Amino acid sequence: MPLDALKLMEVAERLAFRGDRRRYYRFRTDRWYGGVASADVVGCNLRCVFCWSRSRDPNAPGKLLSPEAVAAKLYELAERRRIRQARLTGGEPTIGWHRHTRRVAELIVRDYGLHFILETNGILIGLDRRIARDLADLASEGSLEVRVSIKGAKPETFERITLVDRRYWEAQLEALRVLVEEGLKPGDEVYPAIVMSFDDEEDIRMLIKRIAEIHPALAENIDPEYVILYPHVKQRLAKAGIWPRRFFRPGEPLPEWMI
Nearer to ligand SF4 by Cβ, of 41 and 136: the residue is 41
Least Å from the CB of residue 137 to ligand SF4: 25
- Closest distance of CB 195 from ligand SF4, Å: 8
- Closer to ligand SF4 at the Cβ: 53 or 143? 53
Shortest spacing between CB 6 and ligand SF4, in angstroms: 14
Closest to ligand SF4 by CB, 49 vs 107, is 49
b/e burial code for range 16-53 (CB count within 10 A of at least 16 → b): bbeeebbbbbebebeeeeeebbbbbbbbbbbbbbbbeb
Nearer to ligand SF4, 85 or 162 (CB): 162
Phi, psi of 63 (to 5 degrees): -120, 135
Residue numbers at the binding site for ligand SF4 (CB under 6 A):
44, 46-48, 51, 53, 56, 91-92, 121
Least distance from C-beta 85 to ligand SF4, angstroms? 20
Q: Is 43 left (phi over 0), alpha (psi -120 to 50) or beta?
A: left
Give φ, ψ of 105 to 5 degrees.
-60, -45
- Judged by CB, which is closer to ligand SF4: 91, or 244? 91
CB of 92 or CB of 106, closer to ligand SF4: 92
Nearer to ligand SF4, 51 or 144 (CB): 51
Smallest distance, ligand SF4 to C-beta of residue 167, A: 16
Rounded CA separation 43/234 (Å): 21
Q: Cβ of residue 89: shortest distance to ligand SF4, in angstroms?
A: 8
**What gap in Å lies between CA 120 and CA 90, rounded to an integer?**
9
Please report how close the Cβ of residue 51 comes to ligand SF4 at its closest, in angstroms: 3
